[in-house]
Amino acid sequence: MSPTATEHRDADYLILGAGAMGMAFADVILAEDRAARIVMVDRHANAGGHWNDAYPFVRLHQPAAFYGINSTHLGQGGADLTSGPEIVAYYKNAMDRFLATGRVVFLPMSEYGQDGRIVSTVDRDRITQVTAHRRVVDGTYMQVRVPSVCPPGYRVDSDVTVIAPNGLAQVRQPAQRYVVIGAGKTGIDSILFLLDQGVAPHRIQWIVPNDAWLWDRATVQPGLAMATIVALVQSVAGASTVDDVFLHLERQGIVCRVDTTSLPTKWRCATIDRTELGGLRRIEDVVRMGRVQRISNEAIHLDRGTVAVAEDSLFIDCSANGLARIERQPLFSPGHITLQSVFMCQQTLSAALIARLELLDVTDDRRNRILTAVPHPELKQDLPTCLVTSAQNMINYSRQLPLWLRRCRLYFAHHEPLRRYVLGSAKLAVVQHRAVASMNKMLPAASKLHVERRTA
């Protein structure tokens, strides 16, 4: 190709991002519309998005039964917590199958500019102009980011060693002290990895800017998740405050917390089992003084004070906000789809649901009334709105596409026997009205999503 040549391609859909959501969307379109043509573009060399950048010991936090693309089981299926390398291979194989249809073009290591212009990141003279006759589908809006591609958000003096979790598997000289910065899923995984390698708990220091409520993995298993979701919505319906919701769920064994002497302020869907919780509780040197502002060779400077740095400390930065809470956008607009979660913390299910709804012969206004975005939760007060909106989305969707939803393997209730599926769906619809009313009483007006107005 000459330096000035531009390749022109026509497609029905131009999908920005070949990560988990983009792949889940494409999979449904290919399965449900046998004529659809797709161009996918991604900055990575392979499909799989952030999984290509993740630390080598990463695993799913929830069962493989609910993750991936709808057409293909992931790993061992069921409760399997599939490893990161297996997931990368899964998406590579899925992309190979997409390409084999002859209806998909994949442009890896490329960036989308404007108006369908795509430029290679390894050869700026390689330009592809794509005309999308139906939609441009933005699969990058949720901005999944991992520490390996995000520099620390605090100052680090030149004589201090800070690594991403990816570097833990490359450590060749043991440190006297391992300082894990961050209390999200990545921080939890890093602590558990160190414990699994035999590092004594007293050698680990944990910087916890804010404590979070954690989801007990035992309650989100295939065959059990429907009852758990109903219980979650019921907890909102029966509570007068957000803390009441979590304390009720804790008594039911659905959520848990590392420190039982205080009430966490965060809720981000981090999922663990009781053995892992026990491991976290073995760490006694837990610093709860806010976020890190600076690390010097002598002290860690935090929002609410400083702590001394032990000799020969290795800092592990787990502070990247992997799934930040971002402003909701309409899912469907003329010529565009913005992929976002429509069920709390279930990104691949959400993308599959949006794809099937795209093929339904209704207006965009109708589509946006059936499904609305559910921003990723950040604070504990986000739980009621996320739950109630997720439930309403599923109720609306079931009215429009009941058989498709029942058959979608990414939907937690798909794994229920038919009788329990029907009864659980009915219970969810009944309790939803009380949950909406309770939510509107316990939260300020600015926090509500006005679910009742949107009921389809």
Instruction: Return the number of other C-beta atoms located less than 10 Å from residue 297's C-beta.
Output: 12
Range of the domain at 231: 223-254+400-456
| Position 445 pLDDT exceeds 70 | no
379 inside domain: no
- Domain membership of residue 309 (yes or no) is yes
In a domain, 386, yes or no: no
Task: Kindly state whether residues 173 and 47 are assigned to the same domain.
Answer: no
Q: Which phi and psi angles does 234 have, rounded to 5°? A: -60, -35
456: confidence class by pLDDT, cuts 50, 70, 90? low
Question: Encoding tokens for residue 182?
Answer: 């961050």
Residue 387 is assigned to a structural domain of this protein: no
Predicted structure pTM score: 0.94
- Whether 202 and 278 map to the same domain: the answer is yes
| pLDDT, average across residues 118-132 | 94
Which of 317, 342, 359 terminates a domain? The answer is 317
261 and 250 together in one domain? no
Give pLDDT tens digits for 173-203: 999 999 999 999 999 999 999 999 999 999 9
Residue with tokens 């910065």: 181
Give the burial string for 365-398 (b: 16+ CB within 10 Å, else e): eebbebbbbbbbbbbbbbbbbbbbbbbbbbbbbb
pLDDT at 24: 98
Residues 12 and 77 in one domain: yes
> Residue 6 — very low, low, confident or very high, per pLDDT cuts 50/70/90?
confident
Contact 231, 344 (CB under 8 A): no
Do the domain assignments include residue 343? Answer: yes
Q: What is the CATH number of the domain that holds 58?
A: 3.50.50.60
290 with 198, same domain: the answer is yes
Same domain? 441 vs 363: no
> Has residue 302 been placed in a domain?
yes
Same domain? 126 vs 229: no
Do 206 and 227 reside in the same domain of the chain? no
199 and 301 fall within a common domain: yes
What pLDDT does 241 receive? 94
Q: Is the pLDDT of residue 450 over 50?
A: no
Average pLDDT over residues 431-450: 78
The count of domains in the chain is: 3
Would the pLDDT of 55 be above 90?
Answer: yes
The reply to whether 436 and 291 lie within a common domain is no
Q: Is residue 335 part of a domain?
A: yes
Residue 449 has pLDDT above 60, yes or no: no
* Residue 247 per-residue DSSP state: H
Give me 331's structure tokens. 């899912």
pLDDT class for 102, splitting at 50, 70, 90? very high
For 87-228, list the strands marked E by DSSP: 104-107, 110-112, 117-120, 127-138, 155-156, 162-163, 177-181, 204-207, 212-216
pLDDT over 70 at 316, yes or no: yes
Going by C-alpha positions, the residue among 49, 15, 225, 43 that lies closest to residue 134 is 15
d(CA 95, CA 46) in angstroms, rounded, equals: 8
> At 275, phi and psi to the nearest 5?
-65, -45
- Give the tens place of pLDDT for each residue, 419-432: 999 999 999 999 99
In this structure, the answer to whether residues 54 and 127 fall within a common structural domain is yes
- Residue 353 forms part of a structural domain: yes
Asked if 231 and 386 touch (Cβ cutoff 8 Å), the reply is no
Question: How would residue 3 be classed by pLDDT, with cut points 50, 70 and 90?
Answer: low
- Cα separation, 450 vs 199, in Å, equals 49
**Residue 41 sits in the same domain as residue 84:** yes
pLDDT at 326 over 90: no
